[in-house]
Amino acid sequence: MTDARTAPGTNPLRDSRDRRLPRIAGPCGLVIFGVTGDLARKKLMPAVYDLSQRGLLPPGFSLVGFARRDWADQDFSQVVHDAVRARSRTPFSEAVWEQLAEGLRFVPGEFDDDAAFARLRTVVEDLDRQRGTGGNHAFYLSVPPRSFPVVLKQLHRSGLASREGTGWRRLVVEKPFGHDLASARELDGLIGSVFPTEGVFRIDHYLGKETVQNLLALRFANELFEPVWNAHHVDHVQITMAEDIGIGGRAGYYDGIGAARDVIQNHLLQLLALTAMEEPVSFDADALRAEKEKVLSAVRLPDDLALGAARGQYTAGWQGGREVVGYLDEEGTDPGSTTETYAALRLNVETRRWAGVPFYLRTGKRLGRRVTEIAVVFSRAPHLPFDHSATKELGQNALVIRVQPDEGVTIRFGSKVPGTSLEVRDVTMDFGYGTSFTESSPEAYERLILDVLLGDPPLFPRHEEVDLSWRILDPVIDHWAREGAPEPYSAGTWGPPSADAMMARDGRAWRRP
């Protein structure tokens, strides 16, 4: 007789850990470099509080800030408090805050200041004794990429990167991972000389989003979709990350980087890999990464990049009922800049599953609305036994995974219009996280920071994936460098005409979310 609590064919002794139970980090601390920046204030500090509020951090957890501010510990505590009150996802609890605040420390200093890193080491060692962090510390580089080398060298010189006893040391690196293949390899070599491979966590916050992870469940936990997830049934795939904002105050970072390096090289190619990969033997890090790397190694660019790639730069226009300036008029931008704020690519994945199915990637700023989605557009039925007039408003079936802002999945299919005549048009079936689950989705940084502290690496791309991504993008960047200025498009529109022309040549059109 089968135990109702045990599914047939499973061995409870082999799977003694219930994955539905929350995973709680052991004794540890987190050191954030660049703790006064936007990322730390808007994302990292609130995420740490939310983890603490959910009971996923140990009682002795410690957070150390390092920056060029003449602050004492209490000043830093006030900064964290204000960031948490303004942006935390979970309700503010004074009891939770007081426990977290006991572990807050601040170390002032420049990145090239040997004495400051000596003070940081002293603080870390004191936390091990006072808070029981056990020698377990993660170092988060929330700093511009140009500062990576000096911080890494200081961590090595000061001995902070050295593991002591049974403790661990881990490094968290924010994108971009270099600006081309050569610089990415140089950075990887530098990181590898200080931290072991298993101790390096490259953050791509899109991989921490609930809907991105749901893509794996959608594909591999359901028999409904996988049989048609191939070139026999799929016409093409569109992956979009559109923003309705401009660069704001990020000109110092963005100008010279551009949309392709900022988004396509990491976020969109990762989404492509998850969409196109084969089923892994498990969701362990090595198995998952191996399948993604197979996809990225099979990606091919069009023979003629002039026809298979488009770029643009936003000009003044209207957005959200107000007039906005163009990119070249943004504060801090070089008036002669040729940096693209829109990029679109047509890619092929040369595998048996996807041969002949184009993948269209696009990203841009100052577009029609903020949305990130993966749209799998299916081929038309080979035969329609209807009059042409009955199906003139029928489009192609599509499955759309919405990553943000309204996380969920939509299926578009044809249905008869009520009435005496036979007319078929598109309808949608919609699943939304907000209406299907009582618990709100954790922020991406909550999941990723916890995974760093747990040492769980499946959601973090390793250097082979970074290498393959730059191999794909470098020829496009080189091509655009020879082409001169990008094509202008008005703010509030959906990009330059050349992007629409790229799709039209294939007999297709971009979705208008």
Looking up residue 244, the CATH number of its domain turns out to be 3.30.360.10
The pLDDT tens digits for 36-45 are: 988 999 999 9
pLDDT at 426: 76
CATH number of the domain that residue 119 is part of: 3.40.50.720
Q: Quickly count: other Cβ atoms within 10 Å of residue 3's Cβ.
A: 9
Q: Nearest to residue 120, comparing CAs of 133, 101, 139?
A: 139
- Assess contact for 246 and 365: CB atoms under 8 A: yes
Highest-scoring range by mean pLDDT, 114-118, 213-217, 256-260: 114-118
Higher per-residue pLDDT: 252 or 222: 222
**Residues 116 and 221 occupy one common structural domain:** no
Which of 152, 174, 196 is where one domain is finished? 174
* From 179, 267, 388, 463, active-site residue: 267
pLDDT at 144: 83
**Residues 108 and 239 occupy one common structural domain:** no
d(CA 71, CA 54): 29
Alpha helices in 348-431 (DSSP H): none
Q: Is there a catalytic annotation at residue 267?
A: yes
Query: Domain span at residue 88?
Result: 29-174
- What value does the mean pLDDT take over residues 342-369? 97
Q: Which residues contact 98 (CB under 8 A, 6 or more apart)?
A: none
Higher per-residue pLDDT: 333 or 393: 333
Query: Strand pairing partners for 170?
Result: 138
**Residues 240 and 370 occupy one common structural domain:** yes
Residue in the block written with tokens 């039209």: 504
Higher per-residue pLDDT: 429 or 191: 191
Q: Which two tokens stand for residue 210?
A: 């609930």
User: Among the listed ranges 77-81, 108-112, 301-305, 457-461, which one has the minimum average pLDDT value?
Assistant: 457-461
**Residues 269 and 332 occupy one common structural domain:** yes
**Residues 275 and 364 occupy one common structural domain:** yes
pLDDT at 228: 93
Q: Which residues contact 192 (CB under 8 A, 6 or more apart)?
A: 200
Number of domains in the chain: 2
d(CA 251, CA 333): 6
Q: Is 182 part of a structural domain of the chain?
A: no
Q: Is 2 part of a structural domain of the chain?
A: no
**Residues 153 and 259 occupy one common structural domain:** no
Residue in the block written with tokens 């049989």: 227
- Assess contact for 426 and 412: CB atoms under 8 A: yes
First to last CA, the chain: 52
The pLDDT tens digits for 48-85 are: 999 999 999 999 999 999 999 889 989 999 999 999 99
Q: Is 188 part of a structural domain of the chain?
A: no
Q: Is 20 part of a structural domain of the chain?
A: no
Strands (E), 282-386: 299-300, 309-315, 317-319, 322-324, 342-349, 358-364, 371-378
- What value does the mean pLDDT take over residues 150-163? 94
Q: Quickly count: other Cβ atoms within 10 Å of residue 318's Cβ.
A: 12
**Residues 492 and 367 occupy one common structural domain:** yes
Q: Quickly count: other Cβ atoms within 10 Å of residue 215's Cβ.
A: 17
**Residues 213 and 266 occupy one common structural domain:** yes
Q: Quickly count: other Cβ atoms within 10 Å of residue 21's Cβ.
A: 7
- Assess contact for 326 and 314: CB atoms under 8 A: yes
d(CA 79, CA 509): 47
**Residues 263 and 137 occupy one common structural domain:** no
Three-state DSSP class for residue 13 = coil
pLDDT at 19: 52
Q: Which residues contact 373 (CB under 8 A, 6 or more apart)?
A: 238, 239, 240, 400, 401, 402, 403, 511, 513
Alpha helices in 8-72 (DSSP H): 38-39, 45-53
d(CA 171, CA 194): 9
Q: Is 404 part of a structural domain of the chain?
A: yes
Residue type, 491: A
pLDDT at 388: 60
Which of 149, 174, 199 is where one domain is finished? 174
- What value does the mean pLDDT take over residues 291-297? 96
Q: Is 185 part of a structural domain of the chain?
A: no
Residue in the block written with tokens 């980090």: 25
Residue 10, pLDDT above cutoff 60? no
Residue 6, pLDDT above cutoff 50? no
Alpha helices in 386-441 (DSSP H): 433-436
**Residues 147 and 219 occupy one common structural domain:** no
The helix or strand, by DSSP H or E, that contains position 411, with its residue range, turns out to be: strand 408-416
- Assess contact for 111 and 147: CB atoms under 8 A: yes
Peptide bond preceding 176: is omega within 30 degrees of 0, i.e. cis? yes
**Residues 364 and 499 occupy one common structural domain:** yes
**Residues 339 and 390 occupy one common structural domain:** yes
d(CA 233, CA 97): 53
- Assess contact for 498 and 240: CB atoms under 8 A: no
d(CA 365, CA 371): 11
pLDDT at 16: 43
In the 8-state DSSP scheme, what is residue 132?
A: -
Which of 174, 196, 221 is where one domain is finished? 174
Q: Is 11 part of a structural domain of the chain?
A: no
| pLDDT tier for residue 22 given thresholds of 50, 70 and 90 | confident
Query: Strand pairing partners for 317?
Result: 324
Q: Is 196 part of a structural domain of the chain?
A: no
Residue 8, pLDDT above cutoff 70? no
The pLDDT tens digits for 191-234 are: 999 999 889 999 887 787 777 778 888 899 889 999 999 999 99
Within 13 Å and on the Cβ side, how many CA atoms surround 299? Answer: 30
- Assess contact for 326 and 226: CB atoms under 8 A: no
pLDDT at 307: 94
